Amino acid sequence: MTRPFTGYERAALQPTVVHIGVGVFHRAHQAVYCDAVLRTGSPTGAVWGISLRSAAVRRALEPQGFVYHVVERAPEASNVADVVRPVGALLGVDLAAHDVEAALARMTDQAVTVVTITVTEHGYCTVGPGGALDLSRPEIEHDLNTPHAPCSLPGLLLEALVRRRAAGAAPFTIASCDNLPSNGRATARAVRELAECRDPSLAAWVDANVAYPSSMVDRMVPATTTQDRDQLCRDGIVDAWPVVTEPFSQWVLEDEFPTGRPPWERAGVELVTDVTRHEQAKLRILNAAHSALAYWGLLAGHHLVADAVVDSVLGEATRDLLVTEVLPTLAAPLGWDLRAYAEQVLDRFGNKALGYTTAKVAADGSQKLPARLVPTIRALLTAGTPAPRCAQVLAAWVTCMAGPRASTFAVDDGAVARSDPSRALGGEGWPERATAALFGLPGFPETCRPAELAFRTEVLGHVRQLGHADVRRVLSSPGRVSSPLDGAVHGGER
């Protein structure tokens, strides 16, 4: 580092938090809150990171003592200067794929009372977000055959808990910070079901002794670029992997930590008894709008989400999605104005200084959309209310994944890849094949429910349009695409 770290004595600290998934989001969010807590003089809050597979963060940060810089960038039009702050809360990183014993040793250290997680929805190894453990996943098969050398997130958590129990140490609390509905319960289910496969008595012990508080986290953190590093270097700061983010940050956390936690409230963390309304509002407003702009933006030729949101047609369609379809399905958290929150979200998306790409946001839609969009769809259909904007989002997803231009978009989605989507691509009839294949993945509207079947037919109509028409023209007509089922099914539901 070109500047010595000041603020607290890092050498005197002992990690009390282990974080799994040391990506840019964690380093711009949870680690920043921990850094702020340590600056108050707290002896707790230092973090040790564990990466499940990638050694990139450790390679970049180890030569600089794991101190890095967070750059907060306001919108360019605001004329507000960047805020650059060094963060020293991260004391080290272990790579579980190369040395799982080192990772487990850190997690079994009795000074560690909390394990936090950001591995994205895909990392929980479940059948859909928050669903049952996917016993067919290779990493889960490995962990059942070789439980003492785990490679999955649930396997690592469970084996560390088993070793702590054997040592007579209290279990740590597990706090998911991923965009999963009821992320605490989702994590608990994955760990419990793996424990049940190993030993039913172990599952009973885990149920009785381990806490899984849910949380809602919010901060936009795009990938770091060479330009970001170069700008810091011109300012006299050499950092192999800084993090660039927005000024806004929020963490709402259920206060259920029986073995203790850092005093995160000192850093502005909102501690509550139930995070459900906060979580639903964030998932269905911010995350759903982000996905909508990503898929619509790809089809419209936008590389950045910031360009998509200021596209008059895409921006207004997103606002219409939120105001007419999403907000009526939500109950506001205490003190929240949901309409104002939605407008704030759209303003934040327009921050061109962040550089969120549409392709990156569009990744793993098969895991994200069931949590972000499908609850809104089901709430509307149950009320007998149409959901044309939601249908257009899902149609854009299908088109981006399997339409005529899918290969140029190259959107990553592991679950879609495992389902062999090539069977649905190309030739006459691709909209029907692709829609059926992708909606057959867990968590999407089903054919066994009449209203959902009619909705799928509506989505298919939009897919047919998007395969050859300008997405802006499609979005300019928010009405539902008619189908032979409309009168009978929707009329009956009402």
My answer on whether 37 and 143 are in the same domain is yes
Q: Which pLDDT score, from 0 to 100, does residue 419 have?
A: 67
Q: What pLDDT digit, counting tens, does each position of 331-340 carry?
A: 999 999 999 9
My answer on whether 280 and 260 are in the same domain is no
pTM for this model (two decimals): 0.89
Question: Among the three residues 252, 272, 292, which one is the final residue of a domain in this structure?
Answer: 272
Q: Which pLDDT score, from 0 to 100, does residue 420 have?
A: 58
My answer on whether 248 and 392 are in the same domain is no
My answer on whether 168 and 298 are in the same domain is no
> Bridge partners of 304?
357
Q: Which pLDDT score, from 0 to 100, does residue 2 have?
A: 59
> Bridge partners of 245?
72
Q: Are strands 83-87 and 17-20 parallel, antiparallel or unpaired?
A: unpaired
Residue numbers of the domain that contains 19:
10-272
2 within domain boundaries:
no
Mean pLDDT of all residues belonging to the chain = 92
78 within domain boundaries:
yes
4 within domain boundaries:
no
Q: Which pLDDT score, from 0 to 100, does residue 426 have?
A: 56
Confidence of residue 424 (pLDDT cuts 50, 70, 90): low
Is 376 in contact with 329 (CB distance < 8 Å)? yes
Question: Among the three residues 227, 256, 272, which one is the final residue of a domain in this structure?
Answer: 272
SS3 66: coil
My answer on whether 297 and 262 are in the same domain is no
Q: Which pLDDT score, from 0 to 100, does residue 491 have?
A: 28
431 within domain boundaries:
yes
5 within domain boundaries:
no
Q: Which pLDDT score, from 0 to 100, does residue 489 have?
A: 28
My answer on whether 331 and 268 are in the same domain is no
Residue 325 has pLDDT above 90, yes or no: yes
CA–CA dist 154, 473 (Å, integer): 45
My answer on whether 84 and 232 are in the same domain is yes
% of the chain exceeding 90 in pLDDT: 87
Q: Which pLDDT score, from 0 to 100, does residue 425 have?
A: 57
Which two three-digit tokens encode residue 373?
A: 């969009």
470 within domain boundaries:
yes
Q: How many domains does the chain have?
A: 2
Q: What pLDDT digit, counting tens, does each position of 252-285 carry?
A: 999 999 999 999 999 999 999 999 999 999 999 9
87 within domain boundaries:
yes
My answer on whether 230 and 368 are in the same domain is no
The 8-class DSSP code of residue 126 comes to B
My answer on whether 80 and 158 are in the same domain is yes
Confidence of residue 486 (pLDDT cuts 50, 70, 90): very low
The CATH number of the domain where 453 resides is what?
Answer: 1.10.1040.10
Residue 418 has pLDDT above 50, yes or no: yes
My answer on whether 408 and 488 are in the same domain is yes
Q: What pLDDT digit, counting tens, does each position of 357-386 carry?
A: 999 999 999 999 999 999 999 999 999 999
Q: Which pLDDT score, from 0 to 100, does residue 250 have?
A: 97
My answer on whether 441 and 482 are in the same domain is yes
Is 50 in contact with 93 (CB distance < 8 Å)? yes
Residue 203 has pLDDT above 50, yes or no: yes
Is 47 in contact with 17 (CB distance < 8 Å)? yes
Residue 490 has pLDDT above 70, yes or no: no
My answer on whether 287 and 344 are in the same domain is yes
Q: Which pLDDT score, from 0 to 100, does residue 9 have?
A: 97
1 within domain boundaries:
no
CA–CA dist 162, 81 (Å, integer): 49
Question: Among the three residues 215, 239, 272, which one is the final residue of a domain in this structure?
Answer: 272
Q: Which pLDDT score, from 0 to 100, does residue 12 have?
A: 95
The CATH number of the domain where 21 resides is what?
Answer: 3.40.50.720
Q: What pLDDT digit, counting tens, does each position of 156-183 carry?
A: 999 999 999 999 999 999 999 999 989 9
Instruction: Find the helix or strand (DSSP H, E) in which 330 lies.
Output: none
